[in-house]
Chains A and B, each alone.
Chain A
Amino acid sequence: MNPSIGKGSMSTASSSVAWKAADVVPEQFPAGLRVLVVDDDPTCLVILEKMLRTCLYEVTKCNRAEIALSLLRENKNGFDIVISDVHMPDMDGFKLLERIGLEMDLPVIMMSADDGKNVVMKGVTHGACDYLIKPVRIEALRNIWQHVVRKRKNEWKDVEQSGSVEDGDRQQKPSEDVDYSSSANEGNWKSSKKRKDEEEDAEERDDTSTLKKPRVVWSVELHQQFVAAVNQLGIDKAVPKKILELMNVPGLTRENVASHLQKYRLYLRRLSGVSQHQNGLNNSFMSPQEAPFGPMSSLGGLDLQTLGVSCQLPAQSLATLQAAGLGRSTTKSGIQMPLVDQRNIFSFENPKLRFGEGQQQHLSNSKPINLLHGIPTTMEPKQLATLHQSAQSLGSLNMQVNAHGGQSSSLLMQMAQPQSRGQILNESTGSHVPRHPSSIGQPIMSNGIAGGVIGRNGISDNGRGTGYNQVPPTSSMLSFPMNHTTELTVNSFPLGSTPGISSVASKGSFHEEVSSEMKGSTGFLASYDIFNDLHQHKTQDWELQNVGLHFDASQNANPIQGNLEVSPSVLVHQGYSSSQRNGQNRNASPLGRGMFSGLDGTEQRNTQNAGQHLNNNLLIDNSVRVKAERIPDASSQTTLFPEHFGQEDLMSALLKQQQGGIEPAETEFDFDGYSMDNIPV
Chain B
Amino acid sequence: MEVGQMQRRLAEYTKSLFMEGILDAQFLQLQQLQDESNPDFVVEVVTLFFDDSEKLLNDIARALDQQCVDFKKIDAHVHQLKGSSSSVGAQRVKNACVAFRNFCEEQNAEGSLRCLQQVKQEYNLVKNKLETLFRLEQQIVAAGGSVPMIESSF
- B86 and A50 within 8 A (CB): no
Report how far A134 CA is from B80 CA in the complex, Å.
Answer: 11
Chain A residue with minimal CB distance to B80?
A: A41
Inter-subunit contact B52/A41 (CB<8 Å): yes
Task: Tell me, in angstroms, the Cα distance from A41 to B82 when the chains sit together.
Answer: 11
**Chain B residues with a Cβ closer than 8 Å to the other chain, count:** 22
A87 touches B52 (CB 8 A): no
Q: How far is the CB of A84 from chain B (nearest CB, A)?
A: 13
Least distance between B101 CB and chain A CB atoms (Å): 10
Q: Which residues of A contact B67 (CB under 8 A)?
A: none
Per-residue B-contact encoding for A43-82, CB less than 8 Å = 1, 0 else: 1101100110010000000000000000000000000000
**A150 in the interface (beta carbon within 8 A):** no
* B79 is an interface residue with CB less than 8 A from chain A: yes
Could you tell me if A41 and B83 are in contact, using CB atoms closer than 8 angstroms?
yes
Say yes or no: A51 contacts B33, CB within 8 Å. Answer: yes
Tell which of A40, A89, A134, A135 has the most Cβ of chain B within 10 Å.
Answer: A135
> Nearest-CB distance from A136 to chain B (Å)?
7
The A/B interface has a contact count, at CB < 8 Å, of: 60
With the chains together, A85 CA to B79 CA distance in Å? Answer: 12
Q: How far is the CA of A51 from the CA of B45 in the complex (A)?
A: 12
Q: B84–A44 contact, CB under 8 A?
A: yes
Cβ–Cβ contact B45 & A138, under 8 A: no
User: What class of interface size applies to chain A in its complex with B?
Assistant: 20 to 34
Taking a contact as CB atoms under 8 Å apart, the answer to whether B79 and A134 are in contact is no
Inter-subunit contact A47/B30 (CB<8 Å): yes
Q: Check A42 for interface membership: any CB of B closer than 8 A.
A: yes
CB-nearest residue of chain A relative to B27?
A135
B26 contacts chain A at the CB level, 8 A cutoff: yes
Query: Which B-chain residue is minimally distant from A48 (CB atoms)?
Result: B87
Please name all residues of chain A whose beta carbon is closer than 8 Å to the beta carbon of B48 when the two chains form the complex.
42-43, 46
> What distance in Å separates the Cβ of B87 from its nearest Cβ neighbour in chain A?
4
Q: Is the CB of A87 within 8 A of B44?
A: no
Cβ of A198 under 8 Å from chain B: no
Residues in chain B near residue A40, CB distance under 8 A: 80
- Chosen A-B contacts, 30 in total, with CB atoms closer than 8 Å, are A40-B80, A41-B52, A41-B83, A41-B84, A41-B87, A42-B84, A43-B49, A43-B87, A44-B83, A44-B87, A46-B44, A46-B45, A47-B30, A47-B33, A50-B41, A50-B45, A51-B33, A87-B79, A87-B80, A113-B82, A113-B86, A114-B79, A134-B83, A134-B87, A135-B26, A135-B29, A135-B83, A135-B87, A138-B32, A138-B33
* B→A interface (CB under 8 Å): 26, 29-30, 32-33, 38, 41, 44-45, 48-49, 52, 76, 79-80, 82-84, 86-89
Task: Kindly list the 6 A-B residue pairs having the minimum CB-CB distance in the complex, ordered from nearest.
Answer: A113-B83, A43-B84, A135-B86, A135-B87, A43-B49, A135-B26
Residues of A within 8 A of B (CB): 40-44, 46-47, 50-51, 54, 85, 87, 89, 112-114, 134-138
